[in-house]
Amino acid sequence: DAGITQSPRHKVTETGTPVTLRCHQTENHRYMYWYRQDPGHGLRLIHYSYGVKDTDKGEVSDGYSVSRSKTEDFLLTLESATSSQTSVYFCAISPGDRESDSPLHFGNGTRLTVT
């Protein structure tokens, strides 16, 4: 158990509403990531963080923002949800000292439906 908790686990929201997903880790790892998973696309990186207040964009960052004010929490916000953001969202951490060869450990995912 990598000590990663995602909340909520499921959410249904309406187009145009803001949504925030939370990722919480218990082990003070430096690197945290948000991915989305869609059929036929595998997992695609949205944003990642390499420390408190240090974040950067991934390959599918449009429409998303993130914040990391504490080591243990990494928040993903959809400012105005669209139907194309219906997906399963995974948070991940990189637990090793050498990030290069550390596998990512994933949370259990958040299933978001935008109607």
Sole binder of another protein in the list 27, 54, 56, 79 (CB under 8 A) = 56
> For residues 114 and 33, what is the distance between their CA atoms, to the nearest angstrom?
22
Measured in whole angstroms, how far is the alpha carbon of residue 35 from the centre of its chain?
Answer: 5
74 binds another protein (CB under 8 A): no
Task: Give CA–CA dist 97/62, Å, rounded.
Answer: 30
Closest separation in Å from C-beta 50 to another protein: 8
- The structure tokens listed for 100 are 């290069």
DSSP state of 102: P
Contact 106, 91 (CB under 8 A): yes
Told to check if 61 binds another protein by CB under 8 A, we report: no
Q: How far apart are CA 19 and CA 114, in angstroms?
A: 10
Tokens of 67: 């914040």
Interface size with another protein, residues (CB under 8 A): 26
Pick out residues in 8-47 that bind another protein (CB under 8 A). Answer: 31, 33, 35, 40-45
Output 85 or 94, the one with its CB closest to another protein.
94
Shorter beta-carbon distance to another protein: residue 9 or 18: 9
Q: Give the interface with another protein as residue ranges (CB under 8 A).
A: 31, 33, 35, 40-45, 48, 56, 58-59, 88, 90, 92, 94, 99-101, 103-106, 108-109
